[in-house]
Amino acid sequence: MMISKVPMNKIADKIFIEVTIMEVNGSGRVYQTDGITRHYCIIVKTFKDIEDDLYRFSERISSEIDDLGFQCEKEKPYVQTFDAWGNRIDELVTCEAWKKMHTISAEEGLISLGYDNPKEEWRRLHQMSKLYIFASSSGLYSCPLAMTDGAATIIRRIENPTSQLLKAFQNLTSRNPKEFWTSGQWMTEKKGGSDVASGTETVAVEQDDGSYRLYGYKWFSSATDSDMAFTLARVVDKHNNITEGTKGLSLFYLETKKNDGSLNNIQIMKLKDKLGTRQLPTAELLLDGTSAVRVSELGRGVAEISNMLTISRIHTAFMAISNMRKTFFSGIPGNRNNYLPTCYVSELGKGVAGISSMLTLTRIHNAVAACSSMRKLLILSKDYSFKREAFGNQLYKYPLHVQTLARLETEVRAATLFVFHAVLLLSKQESGNATEDELHLLRLLTPLIKLYTGKQAMSVSSEGLESFGGQGYIEETGLPNFLRDAQVLTIWEGTTNILSLDVLRCISKSNGQALISLKNDVDNKLSTAPSDLSKEAEKLQMALKSVLQFVTKNQENLDVLTFAARDLSYSLSRIYMGTLMIEHTGSCGMSPVDIYACKRWCEQQLSLVSNKEQYSKQSSELDKELVYG
Ligand code: UCC
Ligand code: FAD
C-alpha cells in the first residue's frame, strides 16, 4: 500500500510535497526512501493536516488572493517626497491590496511555518508548498516574503542574539498581522551587484555605544516598505581607513524607522521605473547616518550572507572524479585559504549570523516562485484551449497545439520536482536529519535550481503567452505580466553566470565532494529505474559521466572550467531533473504519461560540455570577434 498513489497532476497542481517519499508497508508502518521508519499515524496526521491546509489555502487564493494580486498590479506604489508644508517625508504609498497581502502572509504563517517546531522535518515543505500556490497570485508580495525568510534565518543562526534581534525574529515569524514584520536585503550598490566586494562603498562608523551609523547609497531595495533590513558596509577603523574587497564587508542589521515613525536617516531617492515587478516598490536609498548594529564578525559579511557555516571538516575518500588536485581547487574564486576537505554544514545556533543563509533561502524562494508562475500560466493556457476556437475546432483538438502545451508541461513538472527536492533537503538539513551527501547536494542544488528555473520561467512565459495568440500580448488580460515578471527571476539574487560560478565555487570549496554526492544520488535513484525507462536511465548516466570526465580533465584548467560554467550548470540541472523524473515515475505507479514525460525530457541534449573545442582559447577569441569584431 502506498500513500503516494495520486499522480502529480491529479493533485490539482496544488499539493506537491510528500507523497513520493513515503510508503506504507504491510505492517502499517511508514517508511521513506531514505530508510527511516516512522509511525503511520504520525505521518498520516501530518500529511493530512498539510493537505487540508493547502486545499483550504488554495480556496482562499481563488476566492480572494488572486483578485488582490491583480489589484497590486494595477495600483502601483509611489513615493510622496514632500508633505503639503514642504517637509521631506519620503512616504511610500502602497495600495490596500498590497497591505492586505501583508495581513494574509502573517495569518497564513507563510514565514512562521518555516520556523515553528524546529525539529519537524516537513515544515519547509509545508511552507514552500503554500508559497508555491501563493506566489503567482501574490502581486509579487512573495518578494518581500523571500527576504523576510532570509532575514529570519540569519537571526536564527546568531549565537547569543541581543534582545533587539530576538524581538525582530519574533516579529518576522509572527502570525499576528499587527506584529508581523518584513525585511529588506540591501546588497547592491551603483558600482556592482554581482561583484559586491568591489561594488560596496557604504561605510559604517562606530559610535560610542558600540552601534554604527551607515553612510552610502543602496542602488536597489525591493522591500522598501519593510520594517528592517540586513545590509553590507565597510567599517571605518580608528585611523579612518577601510578594508577593500570582500574581507572589508561586514553585515548590519537596521530598522527602517525610528520610534517616532520617521525614517532612520534614510532618504528614498526614487522608485525604479521597471520592465516588470511594477507591483513592487523598488527604490534607490540614501543612507545618511542610518543607525545600525553589526551582526557579523568584522569582514565576514559576504560569507555570512551566503549560507552554510564551516563547522566540521570531513575527510572523504575521493572517488573516480575526486582525484582533483590542489592546483585546480585553489585556483577557483572562493577557495583562497586551504585545501583541507571542508564540509559546509549549517547547524542551528552555530556560528555568527550571515547573509549567506539569506542568499540560500531567497534563491530557493526564487525557484519556487518560478515554478508557481509557470504552473499558473500553463493552467490558464490549458483552460483557454478548451474555450478558444480556430478553423472550426477548439484549440485542444489540434495535436500541434497540444504538443506545444505538452512540452511546457514537461518543463514545469521537471522544474517542480527539482525545486521541491531542494526544499526537501532544506527541510532535512534544518531538522538535523540530513546526511553529509544531502548537505553537499543542497549546497549544489541551490544555485542550480535558481538559475535553471529562472531560464525556464522565461521560455515558458513566452510560449505560454503565444498560446493565447494576440490576447497574450494585451495588458487587460494580465498575461503580459507573466513574461515581464519572469525576466527578473534570472537577474536578481545572482544572474545566471554568477550562479554558474557559484556552482564552481561550491564544487571547489567541497573539493569535489558536491559532485560526488550528486553522482551517488543519481546512481542510487537510477539503480531502481523501471525497465520501461532503462534507455533513458542509461542516457542520463552517460551524460553525467561525460560531465564528470570534463571536470576531471580540466581540473587544472581554471579558464576552461570558468568558460564552461554555464554549460556545466545546465548539464547538471538537466541530468538531475531527468533523474528525479524517473524516480518519481517509479514511485508513483508508472503511469504511461509519467513515462512519456521522462522520455520527452531525456530527448534533449543532456550534457552540453561534450564538445571540448567550444571552450578553447581559439573559441574564446572567435567569440570576441563575433561579438565585437
Ligand atoms: O537581488 C536581491 C533581492 C531581490 C529580491 C529577492 C526576491 C527573491 C525571490 C522572489 C520571488 C518572487 S538582493 C541582491 C542579491 N545579490 C546577489 O545575489 C549577489 C550576486 N553575487 C554573488 O553571489 C557573489 O558570488 C558574492 C557576492 C556572494 C561573492 O562574491 P566574491 O567577492 O567573489 O566572494 P568570495 O570571496 O568568493 O566569497 C566570500 C565568502 C566565502 O567564504 P569564506 O570566506 O568562508 O571562504 C564564500 O565561500 O562567501 C562565501 N560564499 C558562499 N557561501 C559565497 N557565496 C556563497 C554561497 N552561495 N553559499 C555559501
Ligand atoms: P552586473 O554585476 O553589472 O552584471 C552585468 C552582467 O555581467 C550580468 O549578465 C552578469 O551575469 C555578467 N557578469 C558579471 N560578472 C561576470 C563574470 N565574472 N563572469 C561572467 N559574467 C559576469 N539588490 C539588492 O541588493 N536588494 C534588492 O532588494 C534588489 N532588488 C532588485 C529588484 C529588481 C527589480 C532588480 C532588477 C534588481 C534588484 N536588485 C536588488 C539588484 C540585483 O540583485 C542585481 O541587479 C544583480 O545582482 C546583478 O547585479 P548588477 O545589476 O550590478 O549587474
Number of neighbours of residue 338 by Cβ within 10 angstroms: 11
Place of cell 549570523: 353
CB distance 366 to ligand 1 below 6 Å: yes
- CA-274 nearest atom, ligand 2: 34
CB distance 333 to ligand 1 below 6 Å: yes
Angle at 487 between CA 109 and CA 196, to 5 degrees: 80
The CATH class of the 183-304 domain is mainly beta
- CA-368 nearest atom, ligand 1: 11
Structure-block grid coordinates of residue 466: 503565444
* Tens-place pLDDT, residues 561-574: 999 999 999 999 99
Name the average pLDDT for the chain. 86
pLDDT band at 533 (very low <50, low <70, confident <90, very high): very high
| Cα 498 to ligand 2 centre (Å) | 9
CA distance 255 to 307: 22
What lies within 8 Å, CB to CB, of 157 at 6+ separation is: 309, 346, 348, 349, 350, 351, 352, 353, 354, 357
Number of neighbours of residue 391 by Cβ within 10 angstroms: 7
Q: What is the mean pLDDT of residues 529-534?
A: 94
Confidence (pLDDT) at 495: 98
Q: Closest-lying ligand to the alpha carbon of 282? A: 2
Confidence (pLDDT) at 446: 97
| Cα 194 to ligand 2 centre (Å) | 5
Is the pLDDT score of 194 beyond 90? yes
| Cα 290 to ligand 1 centre (Å) | 24
Q: What is the DSSP letter of 271?
A: E
- CA-495 nearest atom, ligand 1: 20
CB distance 142 to ligand 1 below 6 Å: yes
CB distance 488 to ligand 2 below 6 Å: yes
Confidence (pLDDT) at 297: 87
Q: What is the mean pLDDT of residues 410-415?
A: 98
| Cα 519 to ligand 1 centre (Å) | 25
Confidence (pLDDT) at 590: 79
Measuring from atom 58 of ligand 1, which residue has the nearest CA? 306
CA distance 62 to 104: 14
* Tens-place pLDDT, residues 152-186: 999 998 888 999 999 999 999 999 999 999 999 99
Percent of the chain with pLDDT over 90: 76
Q: Which of 450, 157, 495 is nearest to 300 (CA)?
A: 157
| Cα 408 to ligand 2 centre (Å) | 28
| Cα 445 to ligand 1 centre (Å) | 15
> What is 46-104 written as a DSSP string?
HHHHHHHHHHHHHHHIIIIIHHHHHHHHHS--EEEEE-TTS-EEEEEE--HHHHHHHHH
Measuring from atom 53 of ligand 1, which residue has the nearest CA? 306
Confidence (pLDDT) at 622: 94
Q: What is the mean pLDDT of residues 588-610?
A: 93
CB distance 495 to ligand 2 below 6 Å: yes
Q: What is the mean pLDDT of residues 125-130?
A: 95
Measuring from atom 27 of ligand 2, which residue has the nearest CA? 221
- H-helix or E-strand containing 570? helix 565-587
CB distance 22 to ligand 1 below 6 Å: no
Q: What is the mean pLDDT of residues 187-194?
A: 96
Q: What is the mean pLDDT of residues 604-622?
A: 92
Q: Are strands 228-235 and 203-206 parallel, antiparallel or unpaired?
A: parallel
* Tens-place pLDDT, residues 421-458: 999 999 999 988 899 999 999 999 999 999 999 999 99
| Cα 108 to ligand 2 centre (Å) | 32
Confidence (pLDDT) at 355: 62
* Tens-place pLDDT, residues 205-231: 999 999 999 999 999 999 899 999 999
What lies within 8 Å, CB to CB, of 607 at 6+ separation is: 542, 543, 544, 546, 547, 550, 571, 575
pLDDT band at 45 (very low <50, low <70, confident <90, very high): low
CB distance 222 to ligand 1 below 6 Å: yes
pLDDT band at 613 (very low <50, low <70, confident <90, very high): confident
* Tens-place pLDDT, residues 319-330: 223 333 333 333
- Supply the ipTM of this predicted assembly: 0.99
What lies within 8 Å, CB to CB, of 472 at 6+ separation is: 464, 465, 466, 479, 480
Structure-block grid coordinates of residue 380: 490558464
Helix, strand, or coil here: 434? Answer: coil
* More confident of the two residues 333 and 391: 391
Structure-block grid coordinates of residue 387: 474555450
Q: Which of 561, 566, 563, 575 is nearest to 607 (CA)?
A: 575
Confidence (pLDDT) at 510: 95
Sheet with strand 22-24: strands edge to edge? 22-24, 30-32, 37-38
Q: Which of 157, 226, 277, 302 most suits a substitution to test ligand 1, by most atoms within 8 Å of the C-beta?
A: 302
At what angle are helices 592-603 and 565-587 packed, to 10 degrees? 170
* Tens-place pLDDT, residues 244-296: 999 999 999 999 999 999 999 999 999 999 999 999 999 999 999 999 999 98
| Cα 495 to ligand 2 centre (Å) | 6
Structure-block grid coordinates of residue 153: 534565518
Q: Which of 147, 148, 194 most suits a substitution to test ligand 2, by most atoms within 8 Å of the C-beta?
A: 194
Confidence (pLDDT) at 13: 33
| Cα 187 to ligand 1 centre (Å) | 9
- CA-307 nearest atom, ligand 1: 60
Confidence (pLDDT) at 162: 94
Domain ranges of the chain: 8-79+89-172, 183-304
Confidence (pLDDT) at 43: 52
Helix, strand, or coil here: 206? Answer: strand
Determine the residue type at 261.
G
